[in-house]
Amino acid sequence: MKYLDCHNHTAEWSDGRQSIEQVIEKAKLEGVRVGLSDHAGLGDYLNSNDRLLAYADFLTQYPVARGLEMDLGRSFVVQPQTREKFDYMIGSVHGMEVDGVRLSFTQLISWTRGDLPTYNPLLQIKSLDVFFKAHLALLEKEYAAQKFDILGHPTMLPPLALGKPEDIFPEWWEDQFLAILIKNGVALEISNRWKTPYDRLMQKGVAAGVKFSVGSDGHDTAKTCVLDYPKEMMKKFGVGPERLFDITRSIEAA
Ligand SMILES: [Zn+2]
Ligand SMILES: [Zn+2]
């Protein structure tokens, strides 16, 4: 079985630095099947059903899985006639409103790149408890509004910058978080780009029976379709390919 890397971006439709042809070429090299999932949401180019339909039409010309990555918290409802053109919908959190204030994850991303070593999310997040509750409430609200298949880079959240995730992310949050995913049939993405989830969450997810998905979150040809971290985590926690999100149609060119 070839892995399905569900999470990739193009320059044509969002913030990738690669064409779809380059993504397909790299997928061949890495021996994986590939899905495209450009950013959609009120702050993105793909901010309407009409544009999503154009994107789906574009993807239809290629041997790829057709996905999208909706910006949770700045989402819009995808109409059934649009949704049916896609194989799946990822939802990811890229910023959050906490106590009425929008918290952007831009600084967190700079920190993960090593560009902002002094980043302290506690200057913005007054209380971790309030933050984690707001995170769960956001997921519940989005999942009540429409069906999502995958939660992208699940722990790419500002508290990551505070230390070892096992010391920072509370166990009550982990348990409620996994219950929400299971209740809504949402797969937990193992992200190569963000190296998430961390060990304890992965272990709990396996025990709880959550589904997984693998994604490179590739924005450039160097990292696209590289699945080293997901493969390592699957091996470490005994996750077989049958627990991975997949699509039913064949996408390989004849
Ligand atoms: Zn994302
Ligand atoms: Zn992405």
Centroid of ligand 1 to alpha carbon of 93 (angstroms): 7
* Other Cβ atoms within 10 Å of 175 Cβ, number: 12
Domain assignment of residue 26, yes or no: yes
Q: Which ligand is nearest to the CA of 92?
A: 1
pLDDT along the chain (254 residues), means of 10: 96 97 97 98 98 98 98 98 98 93 91 93 91 97 98 97 96 98 98 97 98 98 98 98 95 67
Q: CATH number of the domain at 44, please.
A: 3.20.20.140
Kindly give, in sequence order, each residue whose CB lies less than 8 Å from that of residue 67, ignoring residues fewer than 6 positions away. 6, 7, 35, 36, 37, 86, 87, 88, 89, 90, 150
Domain assignment of residue 45, yes or no: yes
Pairing of strands 150-151, 4-5: unpaired
Domain assignment of residue 32, yes or no: yes
Centroid of ligand 2 to alpha carbon of 14 (angstroms): 9
Centroid of ligand 1 to alpha carbon of 148 (angstroms): 14
Domain assignment of residue 142, yes or no: yes
The per-residue pLDDT for 253 is 58
Answer whether the bond into residue 170 is a cis peptide, omega within 30°. no
> In terms of residue numbers, what domain contains 158?
4-243
Positive or negative torsion for Cα 244, 112, 92, 99: positive
Structural domains in the chain (count): 1
SS3 150: strand
Domain assignment of residue 131, yes or no: yes
The per-residue pLDDT for 126 is 83
Domain assignment of residue 235, yes or no: yes
The model carries a pTM of 0.97
Domain assignment of residue 250, yes or no: no
Closest by Cα among 159, 4, 147, 136 to 78: 147
Centroid of ligand 2 to alpha carbon of 177 (angstroms): 20
The per-residue pLDDT for 254 is 45
CB under 5 Å of ion ligand 1: residues: 92, 152
Centroid of ligand 1 to alpha carbon of 254 (angstroms): 31
Closest by Cα among 239, 242, 219, 243 to 229: 239
Centroid of ligand 1 to alpha carbon of 57 (angstroms): 22
The C-alpha angle 225, 226, 227, rounded to 5 degrees, equals 105
Distance in angstroms (rounded) separating the CA atoms of residues 30 and 217: 14
Distance in angstroms (rounded) separating the CA atoms of residues 132 and 113: 24
Domain assignment of residue 234, yes or no: yes
Distance in angstroms (rounded) separating the CA atoms of residues 83 and 165: 35
